[in-house]
Amino acid sequence: MAQRRQTHPGVPSPPLPAGKFPLVITGAAGGPRKASAMLIRLITGHAFIGSYTVRFHPRKPTHCPGCGTNPQMVDHVIQQCPRYARARATYLAPVVPDLSLSSLRGTKEGGEALIKFLEVIKACFSPNEQAFDPG
């Protein structure tokens, strides 16, 4: 039987159980707010990328604005898109050479690398954000 939290007027609720944050979040702690928010969106599948758009806004474009791959997926942005090759080589490959999503998401170092990568590329930020210029 599922337990339900009961509330009573005037009686404070008991504190929520303390939980551990995933290592990727621990690694990203203290990062820029927008990049941190983007990391959470990536982890939860709510990033502003094609795979999200297909699901929630099927009439809007779903391709990668960097190279045209359709639909744009999380693994494409992190592992494959040629537009982000330089940033990927600078921030992700030194930490996780095979760019494994499970390693990037499952370690503190992966979180630190992802937050730096996302801050630079600004992919998956809100569509109103400034576009990335790979230089």
Span from 7-15, 63-71, 94-102, 115-123 in contact with Zn ion (CB under 5 A): 63-71
Indicate whether 64 belongs to the interface with Zn ion (CB under 5 A).
yes
The verdict on 67 binding Zn ion (CB under 5 A) reads: yes
Least distance in angstroms from the C-beta of 47 to Zn ion: 14
| Binding segment (CB under 5 A) for Zn ion, from list 2-10, 78-86, 104-112, 120-128 | 78-86
Interface with Zn ion (CB under 5 A), residue from 27, 31, 66, 111: 66
Q: Which two tokens stand for residue 15?
A: 């504190």
Stretch that binds Zn ion, among 11-19, 38-46, 80-88, 106-114 (CB under 5 A): 80-88
CB of 80 to Zn ion, least distance (A): 7
The least distance separating Zn ion from the CB of residue 42, rounded to whole angstroms, comes to: 15
Bridge partners of 11, per DSSP, are 8
Phi first, then psi: what are they for 38, rounded to 5°? -65, -40
Q: How far is the CB of 55 from Zn ion (least distance, A)?
A: 19
What distance in Å separates the CA atoms of residue 45 and residue 38, rounded to the nearest whole number? 10
Residues 2-41 that bind Zn ion (CB under 5 A): none
Alpha carbon distance 94, 98 (integer Å): 9
